Structure 1
């Protein structure tokens, strides 16, 4: 059962988190292009925002199966896992409280015909923090410092 849970956890991470990190990273540069190619960029921005929102919801599966896997492996109290859970929670907060709302605000600004360069820069920074948090979680999941599970 552990192998099944781990496989679903890893596949969900690849399928759900991967698209969010890529689409979120693409959003700020596309937002800056709106002035040059307004119609094409508007559609691209809306699509990228929908991808981020949709896959963020699907991404809830990742920690659910991760916790189930950790429980089966008996590692719920391990430091590497607790840090991973904290970083995952922080990444979810950054996505839900900073990245997605700022994308929405930029989309509204685009509809109004005004794109603020500062808004795209702030969004790019929040997106970078989100991506770095996921990178740190990924490293912790692979390296598992102090683990006795045979990493």
Structure 2
């Protein structure tokens, strides 16, 4: 059962978190191009699509911690320091996504729909939040692979 749960956990992480990381990273430069004379039709299709990918896969991404908790519980490692650190970093990444990245994308979409100019400071800030989100997920991935102090082998 452990192997099945672990496989599902890893698959959920790859399938859900990967698209959010990529789409969220693509959003700020695409938004920046709207002020650089990029055709409106191209932007009208690209930005909402990238935002939708982030929203939908963020919801699908809820399976990652659910399966992670199930896996850790079945393996009896819920009290491991590396796992607790991973849980905290995952919660921080989710918080950044829900509180900063998705609302930042929505704000830029509203400005663009209203015909307002895209301020570089908004796209830079959104890119920074997205970078933090991606960095936290990279740290979680490393912790899941290395498992410092683990007695289950690495």
* Equivalent position of 1:64 in the other structure: 66
Q: Within 5 Å, which residues of 2 pair with 1:1-151?
A: 1-35=1-35, 36-37=37-38, 38-114=40-116, 115-151=118-154
Q: Deviations over 1:11-31 (max 9, x none)?
A: 000000000000000000000
Query: Over residues 34-87 of structure 1, what are the superposed CA-to-partner deviations in whole Å (9 max), with x where a residue is unaligned?
Result: 122222012100000000000000000000000100011111000000000000
| Cα displacement (A) at 1:117 | 1.1
Structure 1: unaligned runs, 5 residues or longer = none
Large movers: runs of 4+ above 6 Å:
none
CA contact (8 A) 1:23 1:49 kept: yes
Aligned-residue CA RMSD (Å): 0.6
Structure 1-normalised TM-score? 0.98
Contiguous gaps of at least 5 residues in structure 2: none
Question: How many aligned residue pairs are there?
Answer: 151
Whole-Å separation in 2 of the counterparts to 1:42 and 1:34: 9
Q: Distance in 2 between matches of 1:97 and 1:109?
A: 18
TM-score (norm 2): 0.96
